[in-house]
Chain A
Amino acid sequence: MKGNLSTKKGFTGTHDKDNRGIRNPFEEFDTFTFHKTQIPLDQIIESTEVVMDQIRRGYEKLLEEEAKELVWMVQYNTIIKAYEVAEKHVREIDYSAEDIEDFCFALENTQKIPYFIPGPAGLYISALCNYAKEEEILLKLSELKTEINLIGFRLPKGKRLVIEGDAGDFTGIGLEGGELVVEGNTKNWTGAGMRSGKILIKKNIGLHTGEWMMGGEIYVGGRIRGLGNIVEGKVFEREKLVYPGKARHPNLYY
């Protein structure tokens, strides 16, 4: 067919001396080859995608098991159980700190992850941080539109988690000796039930701060909206010790 067409139209290429200089302009594409090499970037992107798929699947399994009706209530039992499920899935994945950050942003992309339920998502991210290879994890979340709740849950000793941006409710609850730094604000119940370790909040903090905390220190660069019922530990506001100290009523607005 191609040959027929060429003869009919007279486009027989430059080899034909009878075509009086008419040249098929597409002839050179017959021999044209694309220079398409594999570069290390391809490999990096591919492996990143594979890891992200695994992390995503783990999160979806967590939702299937713990939030079947896409409703999840924050209660002591539900938190413990959901975290155990998250731990189970996270242990099977080989990932880096950057993958955790990518996952946080993927949560906002409904095409990638259709259900972003703040509670389980926060616990899953906490599990990812707690089981990460790196001792120090930096999550640049300033452009994240929603604050993640429960981030820093049970952060173990020897780990340092730095969050650029704001965090949601229940930040750093049940901290187990790790160091949690939030460059922005956090909401209510920050550091609730923490046993040891350090929480540094650069800006402001909400109500019930340090509720039932058993030890450790909370440093706040801005204002504390309200303290919770603290059992033991220290809370500083703008470098000034506010607990233990002058008797305060829980959640007193000051």
Chain B
Amino acid sequence: MLEEKRYQAIIDELWPKLKKKHLYPEIPIPKVGEVTPSAAEEEEQGEAVGLEMKQKQITLNSTFLSRTREKMTEEGVIEALLDHGITHYTFCPWDFHTHLMLYAEAKKVMGDKEMAKQVANYFIDVTADTYCVKKRFTEIPELHRVLKKGAVEKVIASLYEKIWGVDLGILDSKAAKRGHEEIVRRLARIPYLDRSRWPESMKKFARSLKPLLLEEQEEQEAIGGKGDSNPQGDHDLNSYSYEEIDQGLRDFAKKSMALPEFKDIVEDFSEELKEAGYGMEGGMGRGRGAPIDADILFYMKLAESYSIPLRKVPLEKKGYLHPHSHSPWEVGSPFQDMDIWTSFGKIMPGITQIWKKREGKGRGKIEGAPDCLIAIDSSGSMINPRKNLSYAVLGAACAANAYLRNDSKVGVYNFSDAPMGGRDVLNFTDHHEDIYRVLCKYFGGGTALDLEDLVPLIHGRKNLDLFIITDMKITNLESLIGFFAQIQNRITAVHIGENPYAARFQRAVEKKRNISIFTVKRKEDIPHIVLGKINEYFGATCKD
């Protein structure tokens, strides 16, 4: 306990200097404490972990500090460990998206999940430490001299000797003579500090280190051990905040645009994601236990990157709160209700006034978004959204998001051969996960709508938008055209690709003002969809 206090005092003293050295990173002051694996596990594994970073909070391991005290000054160890930890935040991996990208590249070479994680971690460490050695005054080389090393660590230390130009006491040792020179030579040619080349660098790093890692894995399996922990700390999802993970997944989905790759990565990290409390609801739910459906998550994250405009309509809303009368403001009351005009711009009890709000009937019409019924075609002519990127699901997901963002509810009618039972209906809801689940459902049969399914969903709803996304290869297209001719609701019809059916539909409804048609051939066409676009009807409020 006393020791921990002493270490904390050293950190407090060093921190201003370190912050300045690393150009003031926005991370809290590091702490000293117990880090995982626990001391007992460390005893078994024979190696302690130096630091841990959880949601930007660096924690130094007091056991590790005590053990290295004999070989290096306490200040030196602490500074080196903190340099290392901070550089992960300021340079590599920088964010969760980069971490995922590096892992994905490593996985392409290694094939195995655990080994890909291991090799990506090594790359992250080498890059961070090399950056620090080149750009900052640091004790990192000294720390590497005293760290206990396994076979891989020895090769990496040889690499450091070669690329940093320092002596870590490795080059003359037996490890260097065991034919690892070739690996070191290959590793030394990688441009670690060139961020734009990290994807290819990661692959090259993994390719070079693969034989050694396989060798080590075999040895570990033979003795039944798990291998040593990384003394500089492991890089798992704990380092990232919930929001960073969310953003990282969104960026990864957008950048890769490949469902299988995204699915592969999310499944590999599913345990950690669940551990981090990453649920599914709206991509923002918290709490453990919910299984992660990678396909749904992919469309959820991808749709968040697109924004399609929604034309609002004048709606008669009831029950809105409106400012009614004044009352004096008291200390502790919310500021947002203050009336600055009657308060003379002052915040002072007795002078400041707040608005008292009352619920009343909204007279007149307020612009808002109506609820929307999304009809999505999941017949055999459409792409299976669980196998490849489906523009139909992505388009429908973007439309659903646009309505949900405006506090409206969305119903889904997923159809293939509806009269034969190939359909799924979701009643109006604002529950993201339920909506995406029905949108991602794939029947893969024939294509026919059962208009009787739609009637109860539309009936009694004065203001309701319809959004239909299909390739228009619908068996009873005539009935659909007839049905659309009867209703006055705003209809946004999106057809995937060009075909004669789509042209026929277009010709049949071209005189209908409440129907707007869009074509999606590429993902870039999705943002051009305008929901509820009706020129004549909205001429007064919205102009194109």
Contacts and interface: CB of A to CB of B under 8 A. Distances in A.
Interface string A34-55: 1111011110110010000000
Given A28-B20, A105-B200, A44 B164 contact: no
A41 B130 contact: yes
B130 A39 contact: yes
Interface string B98-109: 000000000011
Interface in B86-136: 108-109, 130, 133-136
Nearest to B192: A41
B15 to A, nearest CB: 15
B28 interface: no
A28 B20 CA distance: 9
A252 B46 CA distance: 61
B457 interface: no
A102 B130 CA distance: 22
Contacts of A36: 134-135
A223 interface: no
Interface in B141-168: 162-165
A35 B189 contact: no
Nearest to B24: A25
B191 interface: yes
A98 interface: yes
B134 A39 contact: yes
Contacts, number: 52
Contacts of A18: none
B135 A35 contact: yes
Contacts of B204: 105
A115 B339 CA distance: 69
Contacts of B200: 105, 109
A98 B163 contact: no
B274 interface: no
Nearest to B164: A39
Contact of A35 (B137, B165, B185, B186): B137
Contacts of B192: 41
Nearest to B163: A41
A39 B136 CA distance: 12
B104 to A, nearest CB: 13
A39 B189 contact: no
A140 B187 CA distance: 13
B215 to A, nearest CB: 16
B175 interface: no
B164 A41 contact: yes
B457 to A, nearest CB: 48
A143 B136 contact: no
Contacts of B189: 44-45, 48, 98, 102
Nearest to A32: B20
Contacts of A37: 133-134
B108 A40 contact: no
Contacts of A143: 108-109, 203, 207
Contacts of B203: 143
Interface in A97-115: 98, 102, 105, 109
A109 to B, nearest CB: 8
B188 interface: yes
A44 B163 contact: yes
A237 B165 CA distance: 50
Interface in A186-219: none
Given A48-B189, A102-B189, A105-B200, A39 B207 contact: no
A218 B101 CA distance: 41
A103 B252 CA distance: 29
Contact of B163 (A28, A39, A48, A140): A39
A33 to B, nearest CB: 10
A40 B135 contact: no
Contacts of A48: 189
Contacts of A109: 200
Interface string B504-525: 0000000000000000000000
A48 to B, nearest CB: 5
Nearest to A99: B189
B80 to A, nearest CB: 15
A35 B191 contact: no
A44 B165 CA distance: 11
A45 B137 CA distance: 22
A40 B166 CA distance: 10
Contacts of A42: 134
B211 to A, nearest CB: 9
Contacts of A41: 130, 134, 163-164, 188, 192-193
Interface string B163-190: 1110000000000000000100110110
Nearest to B130: A41
B431 to A, nearest CB: 42
A34 B135 contact: yes
A40 B137 contact: no
Contact of B162 (A40, A138, A140): A40
A189 B195 CA distance: 42
A36 B135 CA distance: 5
Contacts of A140: 207-208
A241 to B, nearest CB: 32
A48 B201 CA distance: 14
26 contacts: A28-B20, A32-B20, A34-B135, A35-B135, A35-B136, A35-B137, A36-B134, A36-B135, A37-B133, A39-B163, A40-B164, A41-B134, A41-B163, A41-B164, A41-B188, A41-B192, A44-B163, A44-B189, A45-B189, A45-B194, A105-B200, A109-B200, A142-B207, A143-B108, A143-B109, A143-B207
Interface of B: 20, 108-109, 130, 133-137, 162-165, 182, 185-186, 188-189, 191-194, 200, 203-204, 207-208
Q: Sorted from nearest, which 10 A-B pairs have the closest CB atoms?
A: A41-B163, A40-B165, A45-B191, A35-B137, A140-B207, A39-B134, A35-B136, A48-B189, A39-B164, A44-B188
Given A32-B20, A36-B135, A39-B134, 4 more contacts: A35-B135, A39-B133, A41-B130, A44-B189
